Each structure stands twice: as structure tokens, then as C-alpha cells.
């Protein structure tokens, strides 16, 4: 497996579209899918290839120097549970941490909407070190959004705040 950093491009959009088409249980809203494909033309991403073929994609956005977000991650079904998603997240964490980023977030379907596939998605993110922060009921139409966060490096409280 090879993971490469890719700036937003038509190629990244084509790969993103191909992968999300293979995952209708996770990407079943046509309007959202079109937005993901368009985002792949603009956002930086990571592309995982096995034997030269796309196996996974991760798009992200850096909101501030200290904070970033996984915008989309999709892994081809035949590569699920083979370490592709974990490798993509680890690579992103390494790249962001090297640039001084301290916090990574991801949004996924909240637990108040039972869904076995998204239950596995939440378990994956928990295993990667993300913590559930808040379930937002009004961010997405008719779907609860679970905001999960991962500290990328311990920063602790400033000594001047705690009097140390």
C-alpha cells in the first residue's frame, strides 16, 4: 500500500466519486455526494493505492493552524478492515502534528439514529483515538451529527491559568 498527499484536483474528484459510489450505505444522499466530489477538487487529501489501484481516500480541511477536520474518508469495500482507513488517519495525524496542529475533528452520523454501518464507523474512530464531544441535532437535515475530536499532542493547561 502506498499513501500519497494530493492537492484538490479533477483526479482526486474522480477517485472520490468512484469510491463513494461503492459505498451506498454510507454515502446515499446524492446532493451530499456531489458536494464531496466538488470538495475533492479544492481540498487537500490523501490517496491510498494498492497495486496501483485506489483503495481509499481522505479529504481534510485545516480550519486554523491548530485545528483540522476530516471532511471525508472512503475505503473501497474489498479493502475494509485491512488497515487502509487506519493508515490514512495515521498519515494525516503525522502530517498535521508535524505542522503544529493540535486538534483533529470528524463528524459522523450520531448514535441517536441507529445504523450498524455507522456504529462501526464510530467504533473505528474511537479505536483511532477520537472522543465523542457532542451530538448536534440541527446541523444536518434529519440526521444527528456526532462531533468527535482527537488531541494531536498534549498541550495541558497553561501554567498562568492554573497558577503554576
User: What pLDDT, on the 0 to 100 scale, is given for residue 160?
Assistant: 52
CATH number at residue 30: 3.40.630.30
Segments forming the whole domain that contains residue 111: 2-162
Q: Going from the first residue of the chain to its last (164 residues), give the mean pLDDT of each consecutive group of 10, the final group possibly shorter.
A: 92 94 84 91 96 94 95 92 94 91 92 79 92 86 88 63 48
Q: 109 in helix, strand or coil?
A: strand
Instruction: For residues 109 and 66, give the distance between their C-alpha atoms in angstroms, rounded to a whole number.
Output: 25
For the chain, what is the domain count?
A: 1
Q: Which grid coordinates are listed for 21?
A: 459510489
User: What pLDDT, on the 0 to 100 scale, is given for residue 162?
Assistant: 45
Instruction: For residues 30 and 108, give the distance between their C-alpha atoms in angstroms, rounded to a whole number.
Output: 17
User: What pLDDT, on the 0 to 100 scale, is given for residue 23?
Assistant: 87
Task: Tell how far CA 113 is from the center of its chain.
Answer: 20
User: What pLDDT, on the 0 to 100 scale, is given for residue 154?
Assistant: 57
Task: Tell how far CA 158 is from the center of its chain.
Answer: 29
Residue 60 pairs in a beta bridge with: 70
Instruction: Specify the pTM.
Output: 0.87
Q: 101 in helix, strand or coil?
A: coil
Amino acid at each position: 500500500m502506498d499513501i500519497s498527499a494530493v492537492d484538490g484536483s479533477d483526479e482526486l474528484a474522480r477517485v472520490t466519486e468512484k469510491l463513494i459510489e461503492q459505498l451506498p450505505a454510507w454515502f446515499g444522499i446524492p446532493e451530499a455526494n456531489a458536494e464531496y466530489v466538488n470538495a475533492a477538487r479544492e481540498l487537500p487529501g490523501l490517496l491510498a493505492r494498492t497495486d496501483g489501484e485506489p483503495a481509499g481516500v481522505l479529504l481534510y480541511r485545516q480550519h486554523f493552524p491548530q485545528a483540522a477536520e476530516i471532511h471525508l474518508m472512503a475505503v473501497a469495500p474489498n479493502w475494509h478492515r485491512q488497515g487502509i482507513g487506519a493508515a490514512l488517519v495515521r498519515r494525516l495525524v503525522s502530517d498535521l502534528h508535524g505542522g503544529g496542529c493540535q486538534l483533529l475533528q470528524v463528524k459522523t452520523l450520531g448514535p441517536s439514529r441507529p445504523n450498524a454501518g455507522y456504529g462501526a464507523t464510530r467504533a473505528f474512530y474511537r479505536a483511532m483515538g477520537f472522543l465523542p464531544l457532542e451530538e448536534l441535532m440541527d446541523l444536518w437535515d434529519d440526521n444527528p451529527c456526532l462531533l468527535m475530536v482527537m488531541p494531536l499532542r498534549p498541550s495541558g493547561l497553561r501554567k498562568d491559568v492554573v497558577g503554576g
